Structure 1
Amino acid sequence: MKEPKVHVGILFEPQIEFILLNPYRINGMEISGKQVVTYNEGRILWNGRLYNELLFEPVNEATDAFELLDVTIGINFHWERKEDQRFLGSLKIIVENKKLTGINVIHVEDYLTSVISSEMSATASLELLKAHAVISRSWLLAIDNSIDNSLRHDSAAPNNAANCQLSTVNCQLKWYERDAHTRFDVCADDHCQRYQGITRASTEIVKQAIAATRGQVLTSDGKICDARFSKCCGGAFEEFQYCWEDTPHPYLRKQRDFRIFNPKTCDLSFEATRPGGGLPDLTDEQEAETWIRTSPPAFCNTTNKRILSQVLNNYDQETTDFYRWKMEYTQEELSALILKRSGIDYGQIIDLVPIARGTSGRLWKLKIVGTKRTLTIGKELEIRRTLSTSHLYSSAFIVGKEDVSPEGIPGRFILTGAGWGHGVGLCQIGAAVMGEEGYKYDAILLHYYIGASIEKLYD
């Protein structure tokens, strides 16, 4: 098959400013230089005329680039900021939700070159970069196993699981999916995969990793794997159904992030006799508490700054404690935070009660008990969003209460937690350690995607 193209949503604003750094074609004309497009009563205003859609195509697809001004990165995260970004490929402008959306249309392999440089440092080991190239390609192309992404761009109906809410009087579960995007394939932020075009220069080793794995994807039961990944699993893999819809994937199963391979032979035998080699039942509250309060060995249990600098970009390195971490809130801080983030007035917070945990100890149901209201929320991302000004590192935490009043109102809450992100699929920090220890990219992939195969989809 032929290498497909991907539509990436970059910018969502009432007005978009950009610079065509080389000649671009539109409506039979060649133009370049700074351009401004503005939302105007359901249409696009450009150069004094109104349009339903604009497509700026490069004259030379391999080299021509454009620059988008004031792109927001890290949306709703603690390091959110704006920056100017450059991109290869075409620029498409559409109207969506009473704003303009700027979309980059680009070949998959060019997209991946940027993703690998955006998701982690381009100084990472070759084997880690190769592994990440395969999972990023798989995750992207698993959007539609027919691989004809052009069929999706004008779909009007989002997947209901994209922002699913199952409500009763006392329970509210939500999860957030990439299928919320209906007029482009993926967004450019952490909601999908970080993509920042050619803003961050790719090194030769990144290009080598992309070329060495060109067209390769992970498959299971004849389908491309939905290859999720997160920063740090905290020592144990989470399963898909505890974070998103209730459809378990056989390759995203529970397992300890520990040495199960011989890096030379790729022997898949578990080291069952190794002390501490087994994974406790972290759906059990007592087992989860013991696990979170200790620091068991794991690939991702590292403080090696040299390795971490290979995985984490500068703004990610603002986070220093991630394998095990602690957050503290006063009663006033927590009650105000939950009100602001959820829009629900619980009154004073009496308790945060674990109701259900996944296979990594991550909570996917949490009961918030207040003086005015009690409600069980989930899944993991909704819990993280509710208990932080941006996103709590993970939902694998236990709750401590201090300074409890005679009326039973705690004065202080202490959350002790494990990991960074949802913990499903590849653990980026664990994979970085594996690469440094001599594991090849196929061994890294088969550690995190259990029973999967690596296949070449196109040349």
Structure 2
Amino acid sequence: MLKQPKIRVGIMFSPIIEFKLHGVYQHSASGRKFQGEGDFCLKNNKVELSMNGETEVCELPFELIPLDEQSAGFELLNVTIGINFHWERKENQSFKGALKIIQENEHLTAVNVLSLEDYLLSVISSEMSATSSAELLKAHSVISRSWLLAQIEKGEQINKSGSYSTCFESEGERVKWYDREDHTNFDVCADDHCQRYQGITKASTGTVKSAVESTSGLVLTYNNAICDARYSKCCGGVSELFENVWESVTHPYLTKVVDAPQPPEGYGLELQNEQDAHQWITGNPDTFCNTTDSEILSQVLNDYDMETPDFYRWKVVLSQSEIQDLLKSKVGIDVGNVLDLVPLERGVSGRIIRLRIVGSNSSFVIGKELEIRKAFSASHLYSSAFVVEKGEVKNGIPEGFHFTGAGWGHGVGLCQIGAAVMGASGYSYKEILNHYFKGADITKRY
């Protein structure tokens, strides 16, 4: 059985890292002891540490380890959360474990080094509300633990192979996806790009601690391998395949799941088909994640998530000038006047995998789902499961486009809002996991 691992979490990326040490910390290299407020500053490719009125040039990496892990903690100031999302903001965050400063290109990176189970206590309270139902918290503990260990293994494999590509371009087409492989100096980041981790800033509860402790070391496995257990806020009623969002690898446990006890009546569910997709996305099918129950939603959604009430079905209207500006600024495409948006390929959830942008000067095809979401929003569209109608057409040019969409996020694996409804409805955490991860086993690894 494995020993509980230590993990490295990239927290913030800035030329200046401001911090407060609450308790005594020791420099791992020199043994010097530090306590109080200070900052690391990158100037002319040198790093200065200013603390307690004194400034010195220091060598990186610079790691500060607490002498007493139980009582000591550190605070990072002005941490950006929700990077590039519509709820982006800054906040001060507090952490347990060690603080490590490294340099990456033109910025410094603050890395938190701590045990996996301590990390999970925060993730469960950051990704969800700490007041979620016990069974949902247990289910999320298992999948968050599984995902992290799978990512560490995947990172080691990529490092050994020495090559990994997340973009394929040809004449008139770009297919790109976004995962955590660009993190080479730590295991995961602390934002939605990986999974939300806000240290002990988000208050944990006895229920969270019990959920993590009662599932300690438990992971999802398939054929004895740890599952790459993905999740998103709201699948929109049907979950998506892994290979339609990220690299072309089939994970049998990340398959199409209708998020309901039985398929909703009156809908075709071949959502790769435009007719079925249109009916599904513009409709209101009865599924687990189709809820307006404020009590359940408040368990799942943190304060800034509650700013997004229309997660199940949503609408966006873009003018011709807005859509041209977005294509230029977000994905570097200029096709002239946008004449049409044509889905070339949809996934099993109705999410568009490849989209042709037809312009007056040229046409261009983009994919996968997040690249499509980035192309039509200052942050991201909630999902790529959408249908589009043209606004008024004058001289052959639409004045704008009306998007009607379904779900929030990539839709692969567990649907957080659907799982919250299941937990509130009396399903056990094992039943929740079995619903979203078909054929996976729950295995104790440490």
TM-score > 0.5, shorter chain as reference: yes
1:90-115 Cα deviation digits (max 9, x unpaired): 00001111211100001000000000
What 5-or-longer segments of structure 1 have no aligned partner?
Answer: 260-270
Matched AA of 2:31: G
Identify the residue that residue 372 of structure 1 maps to in structure 2.
361
Which of 343, 346, 365 aligns to 1:357? It is 346
Equivalent-residue separation in structure 2 for 1:279 and 1:208 (angstroms): 42
Identify the residue that residue 10 of structure 1 maps to in structure 2.
11
Identify the residue that residue 133 of structure 2 maps to in structure 1.
125
Equivalent-residue separation in structure 2 for 1:287 and 1:135 (angstroms): 31
Equivalent-residue separation in structure 1 for 2:157 and 2:175 (angstroms): 27
* CA-CA distance at 1:280 after TM superposition: 1.2
Equivalent-residue separation in structure 1 for 2:280 and 2:335 (angstroms): 30
Q: Is 1:331 aligned to residue 320 of structure 2?
A: yes
CA contact (8 A) 2:264 2:287 kept: no
* CA-CA distance at 1:145 after TM superposition: 4.0
Equivalent-residue separation in structure 1 for 2:423 and 2:326 (angstroms): 40
CA contact (8 A) 2:268 2:276 kept: no
Runs of 4 or more above 3 Å deviation: 40-43, 155-159
* CA-CA distance at 1:158 after TM superposition: 7.1
Identify the residue that residue 222 of structure 2 maps to in structure 1.
220
CA contact (8 A) 2:267 2:279 kept: no
CA contact (8 A) 1:236 1:279 kept: no
Which of 330, 340, 343 aligns to 2:329? It is 340
1:330-374 Cα deviation digits (max 9, x unpaired): 112211222221222221111111110000000010011111221
1:205-224 Cα deviation digits (max 9, x unpaired): 10010011000000001100
CA contact (8 A) 2:152 2:187 kept: no
SS state of the match for residue 306, structure 2?
A: helix
Equivalent-residue separation in structure 2 for 1:333 and 1:11 (angstroms): 31
Equivalent-residue separation in structure 2 for 1:217 and 1:59 (angstroms): 31
Higher mean C-alpha deviation, range 311-320 or range 28-37: 28-37
CA contact (8 A) 1:352 1:368 kept: yes
Equivalent-residue separation in structure 1 for 2:42 and 2:224 (angstroms): 44
Identify the residue that residue 408 of structure 1 maps to in structure 2.
396
Identify the residue that residue 32 of structure 2 maps to in structure 1.
29
CA-based RMSD: 1.8
Identify the residue that residue 52 of structure 2 maps to in structure 1.
none
- Residue correspondence of structure 1 range 270-309 to structure 2 within 5 A: 271=262, 276=265, 280-309=269-298
Matched AA of 1:222: N
Equivalent-residue separation in structure 2 for 1:413 and 1:208 (angstroms): 48
**Per the alignment, do residues 335 and 134 of structure 1 end up closer, same or farther by CA in structure 2, a change over 3 Å counting?**
same
CA contact (8 A) 2:264 2:285 kept: no
Q: Percent identity?
A: 54
**Per the alignment, do residues 157 and 60 of structure 1 end up closer, same or farther by CA in structure 2, a change over 3 Å counting?**
farther
Equivalent-residue separation in structure 2 for 1:340 and 1:65 (angstroms): 41
SS state of the match for residue 177, structure 2?
A: strand
Q: Is 1:430 aligned to residue 422 of structure 2?
A: no
SS state of the match for residue 122, structure 2?
A: helix
CA contact (8 A) 2:264 2:286 kept: no
CA contact (8 A) 1:385 1:392 kept: yes
Q: Is 1:238 aligned to residue 226 of structure 2?
A: no
* CA-CA distance at 1:308 after TM superposition: 0.4
**Per the alignment, do residues 88 and 279 of structure 1 end up closer, same or farther by CA in structure 2, a change over 3 Å counting?**
farther
* CA-CA distance at 1:402 after TM superposition: 1.8
Matched AA of 2:295: R
Identify the residue that residue 266 of structure 1 maps to in structure 2.
none
Equivalent-residue separation in structure 1 for 2:208 and 2:88 (angstroms): 25
SS state of the match for residue 328, structure 1?
A: strand
Identify the residue that residue 142 of structure 2 maps to in structure 1.
134
* CA-CA distance at 1:170 after TM superposition: 1.7
Which of 75, 80, 91 aligns to 1:72? It is 80
Higher mean C-alpha deviation, range 331-340 or range 197-206: 331-340
Identify the residue that residue 64 of structure 2 maps to in structure 1.
56
Equivalent-residue separation in structure 1 for 2:90 and 2:40 (angstroms): 19
Equivalent-residue separation in structure 2 for 1:98 and 1:375 (angstroms): 33
**Per the alignment, do residues 44 and 429 of structure 1 end up closer, same or farther by CA in structure 2, a change over 3 Å counting?**
same
* CA-CA distance at 1:50 after TM superposition: 2.9
**Per the alignment, do residues 279 and 426 of structure 1 end up closer, same or farther by CA in structure 2, a change over 3 Å counting?**
farther
CA contact (8 A) 1:23 1:58 kept: yes
